[in-house]
């Protein structure tokens, strides 16, 4: 991709500022003048991999439980607070992060900070509401159990990481959820919802000075007397062993997942993004063409890249009929076994650079995407990487870089395979 291939419109990148409050919270603002709203996220650098033993699902349950009431708001007040002024609130938990975010119009930023800080700093965990929420989360678990695609990925993680927390389901199990107590919730928050673990990220119609003032004012009630030691995030690759598992399941369509993990190396960051784009990103990607267009074996075929603090995971997915599963596996295996130097052509690499740069630029049109991107940059790179620098880094990736990354990801050890085979129809 030539530098002149994509031209950035003036003002699309906004004005980026980063700072730290007197209490240690990192703040990033992305000021964009041509929108009327602002999206504000409180990011906590803690997810399900921080769940203690026998309490899988705790991080995710904390995310649910903070909405059940605070010192000054009950659950109904929380639910209506932003909706009554035309905004909304959302939250999610991953294996390494938790985010609570609010989108609102500019006149309601103060209200948004009041609510957001209540949830992060002053949850009440009312006993009756917590018990009811356990039933809600159990229903969420059941909904995942009804999705073969989600289930096969959860099982792949379990087989890959074993007893390590990365191998546990984010939602936990029915048994682990029922065992959670209010003390578990408070201990988890005291251990992980700490100033050094929090990033406040705002994108939209605002200025940095306003966000800093509101963060200083509202996020100042942390109990710093309780400072437990946090475990270092370190998955021992020596404990990983490739596997090939086939399991018959009560499903209609066979689910196929292949994958590899390797120690995270940020020097491979952009080449991994490009590898994911070439092999499984979009209609013209390798696996979509091979498994859907050239050989009509699957409706859904894609790759995914998951970057943790310490390891990188690359997966290939296809849903197919039992009769076609063996052929689909052969195609996936053949592609992953290709020599590094010939797996991706120079033309494919240049096309992937253009596709990925285009996706990055179009993502700038969504304030929620900007808010999340900036927060993740701060968490994982300790700085916000400007869009121009990201595009330049994509342009700089060479075929030799791709060869090194492919070798580390697919050839250093055998990829793993998990197949959920659909039950045969007896009729």
At 6 the pLDDT is 62
The pLDDT of residue 3 is 42
Examine residue 367 and state whether it is found in any structural domain, yes or no.
Answer: yes
245-271 exposure pattern, b = at least 16 Cβ within 10 A, e = fewer: eeeebebebbbbbbbbbbebeeebbbb
198-204 and 244-249 beta bridge pairing: unpaired
Share of the chain above pLDDT 90, in %: 88
pLDDT of 23 > 80? The answer is yes
Per DSSP, what are the bridge partners of residue 1? none
In the predicted structure, residue 208 carries a pLDDT above the cut 80: yes
- 42-46, 156-160, 228-232: least confident range: 228-232
Domain co-membership, 203 together with 328: no
Locus of tokens 């710093």: 224
For the cut 90, the answer to whether the pLDDT of residue 230 exceeds it is no
Q: Looking at the domain assignment, is residue 8 inside a domain?
A: no
- Average the pLDDT over 90-110 and give the result: 98
Number of domains in the chain: 2
Least confident of 175-189, 215-229, 409-423: 215-229
Considering the domain boundaries, does residue 1 fall inside one? no
Residues 38-61: b if buried by 16+ CB within 10 A, e if exposed: bbbbbbbbbbbbbbeeebbbbbbb
Q: Give which of 40, 46, 78, 82 is closest to 61, Cα–Cα.
A: 46
Mark whether 303 and 269 lie in a shared domain: yes
Q: Which of 185, 218, 251 is the last residue of a domain?
A: 218
Would you call 30 helix, strand, or coil by DSSP?
strand
Cβ-based neighbours of 32, under 8 Å, separated by 6 or more: 11, 14, 203, 204, 205, 367, 370
pLDDT score for 170? 98
- Helix and strand element counts for the chain (H, E): 16, 11
Is residue 159 located within the same domain as residue 38?
Answer: yes
Q: pLDDT tens digits for 63-90?
A: 999 999 999 999 999 999 999 999 999 9
In the prediction, which pLDDT does 372 show?
98
Overall average pLDDT of the 276-282 stretch = 96
Cα gap 19→25, rounded to integer Å: 8
What pLDDT score was predicted for residue 179?
97
Q: Which of 154, 189, 218 is the last residue of a domain?
A: 218
Whether residues 123 and 25 fall in one domain: yes
Instruction: Grade residue 4 by pLDDT with cuts at 50, 70 and 90.
Output: very low
Of 218, 249, 268, which residue constitutes the final position of a domain?
Answer: 218
pLDDT at 25: 97
pLDDT for residue 224 is more than 60: no
Of the listed ranges 5-19, 388-402, 411-425, the one predicted with least confidence: 5-19
Looking at the fold, whether 22 and 164 belong to one and the same domain comes out as yes
Residue 187 lies in a domain: yes
Does any domain span residue 225? Answer: no
Q: What is the mean pLDDT of residues 289-294?
A: 97
**pLDDT tier, 423 (very low <50, low <70, confident <90, very high otherwise):** confident
Give the pair of three-digit tokens for residue 372. Answer: 């999340």
The H or E element spanning position 393 is helix 387-396
More confident call, 228 vs 77: 77
Q: How far apart are CA 342 and CA 329, in angstroms?
A: 20
Q: Does 114 lie in the same domain as 186?
A: yes
Which structural domain range is residue 257 located in?
Answer: 237-422
Flag whether 26 is in a domain.
Answer: yes
Q: What is the CATH number of the domain that holds 163?
A: 3.30.830.10
**Is residue 179 packed enough to be buried (19+ CB in 10 Å), middle (13-18) or exposed (0-12)?**
middle
Q: Is residue 204 located within the same domain as residue 318?
A: no
Quote the pLDDT of residue 426: 57
């Amino acid at each position: 991709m030539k530098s002149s291939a994509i031209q950035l419109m003036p003002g699309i990148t906004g004005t980026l500022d980063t700072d730290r409050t007197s209490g240690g919270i990192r703040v990033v603002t992305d000021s964009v003048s041509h929108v009327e709203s602002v999206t504000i996220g409180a990011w906590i650098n803690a997810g399900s991999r921080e769940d203690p033993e026998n309490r899988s699902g705790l991080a995710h349950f904390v995310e649910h439980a903070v909405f059940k009431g605070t010192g000054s708001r009950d659950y109904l007040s929380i639910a209506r607070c932003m909706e009554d002024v035309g905004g909304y609130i959302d939250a999610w938990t991953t294996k390494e992060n938790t985010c609570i975010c609010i989108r609102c119009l500019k006149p309601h930023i103060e209200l948004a900070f009041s609510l957001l800080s209540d949830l992060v700093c002053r949850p009440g965990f009312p006993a009756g509401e917590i018990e009811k929420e356990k039933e809600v989360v159990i229903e969420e678990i059941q909904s995942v159990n009804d999705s073969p695609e989600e289930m096969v990925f959860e099982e792949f993680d379990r087989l890959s990481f074993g007893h390590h927390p990365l191998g546990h389901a984010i939602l936990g199990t029915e048994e682990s959820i029922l065992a959670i107590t209010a003390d578990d919730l408070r201990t988890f928050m005291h251990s992980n919802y700490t100033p050094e673990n929090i990033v406040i990220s705002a994108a939209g119609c605002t200025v940095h000075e306003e966000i800093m003032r509101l963060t200083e004012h509202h996020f100042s009630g942390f109990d710093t007397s309780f400072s437990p030691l946090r475990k270092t995030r370190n998955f021992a690759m020596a404990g990983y062993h490739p596997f090939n598992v086939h399991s018959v399941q009560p499903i209609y369509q066979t689910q196929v997942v292949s994958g590899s993990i390797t120690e995270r190396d940020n020097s491979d960051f952009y080449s991994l993004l490009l590898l994911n784009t070439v092999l499984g990103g979009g209609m013209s990607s390798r696996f979509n063409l091979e498994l859907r267009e050239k050989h009509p074996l699957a409706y859904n075929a894609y790759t995914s890249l998951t970057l943790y603090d310490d390891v990188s995971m690359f997966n290939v997915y296809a849903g197919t009929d039992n009769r076609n599963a063996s052929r689909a596996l052969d195609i996936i295996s053949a592609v992953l076994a290709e020599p590094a130097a010939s797996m991706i052509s120079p033309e494919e690499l240049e096309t992937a650079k253009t596709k990925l740069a285009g996706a990055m630029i179009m993502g700038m049109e969504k304030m929620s995407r900007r808010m999340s991107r900036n927060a993740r940059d701060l968490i994982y790179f300790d700085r916000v990487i400007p869009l121009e620098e990201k595009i330049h880094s994509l342009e700089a990736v060479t075929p030799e870089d791709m060869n090194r990354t492919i070798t580390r990801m697919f050839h250093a050890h055998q990829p793993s395979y998990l197949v959920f085979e659909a039950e045969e129809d007896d009729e």
